[in-house]
Structure formats: structure tokens, C-alpha cells
Amino acid sequence: MTISALEFLETHPPRHVIQEFARVQSAKIAKETLRQQALAFANREIPGAKARKNSMIQEAKAYKDTLVAKANADKSEFEQLFEEYQKSPALIWRRIYLETIEYVLGNVNKRLFVSPGTRVILGENGEPQP
């Protein structure tokens, strides 16, 4: 007699390892559940993260372009002023001085005018000390 095929209708682990076998099966199911949850989370979050990344890149490029444009404008203004300064240093120095004084005085709340040579000491509150 020769056995040419065997077909098992049911298989069971040995009795002394049934609990461990069940734990392994439960762990496999839990692993697959967590993997599916992770994939779902990734599918939800990755497009939003990519959109935020692209938005931040565009904002950074716009900011860079703004800074470069301002730097070029400042450079151009300085070059023009320097050309004028080379022709007449005293005039340009006086112009810059007066523009600075005008700016400073325009941004203070209180003005105190004293005659030249007068020594004024300001207290902590900004008021002149006697």
C-alpha cells in the first residue's frame, strides 16, 4: 500500500501550546490592524503636510524676493548718493544730517530746545534735572 495524497480537514496545534498559538494569532491580527491604522493616518496627513510645506516654500521665496528688491533699491540709492557725495561732500553731509534730525524729531513725543553750550542732564523719566 502506497499513500499518494493526504488531505486534512482540520488542523489544531498541540494542546500544550494552544494558548501561545492563540497569542501569536492575536498579535498578528493586532499588528495588521495597527499597520492599517498607520496607513490611513499617513494617507490623511501627508497631503496636508505637503501642502503646508509648499505654502511655506512659496512664502519664503516671496520674502526673499522682497528682501532682494529692497536691498537692490537701497544699493541704488546709496550709489546715487555716493556719486553726489564725491562731487560735494559737505553739502551731502549736511543734507543727511538734516534729514536725520527731521526723522528723529518727528518720532519723539517731547522736544526740549536749549541754547548752544547749555548742559542738560535728563533724569530717569526723561525730564531735565535742575
For residue 120, is it within any domain? no
Prediction pTM value = 0.51
Please report the pLDDT score of residue 106 as a whole number. Answer: 81
CA distance 130 to 113: 15
For residue 11, is it within any domain? no
Report helix, strand and coil shares of the chain as percent, to nearest 5: 70, 0, 30
Domain count, the chain: 1
For residue 96, is it within any domain? yes
Please report the pLDDT score of residue 130 as a whole number. Answer: 63
Please report the pLDDT score of residue 39 as a whole number. Answer: 97
For residue 128, is it within any domain? no
Helix (H, G, I), strand (E, B) or coil at 128: strand
Domain residue limits at 64: 24-106
Please report the pLDDT score of residue 109 as a whole number. Answer: 74
Weakly modelled stretches of the chain, pLDDT under 50 = none
Please report the pLDDT score of residue 44 as a whole number. Answer: 95
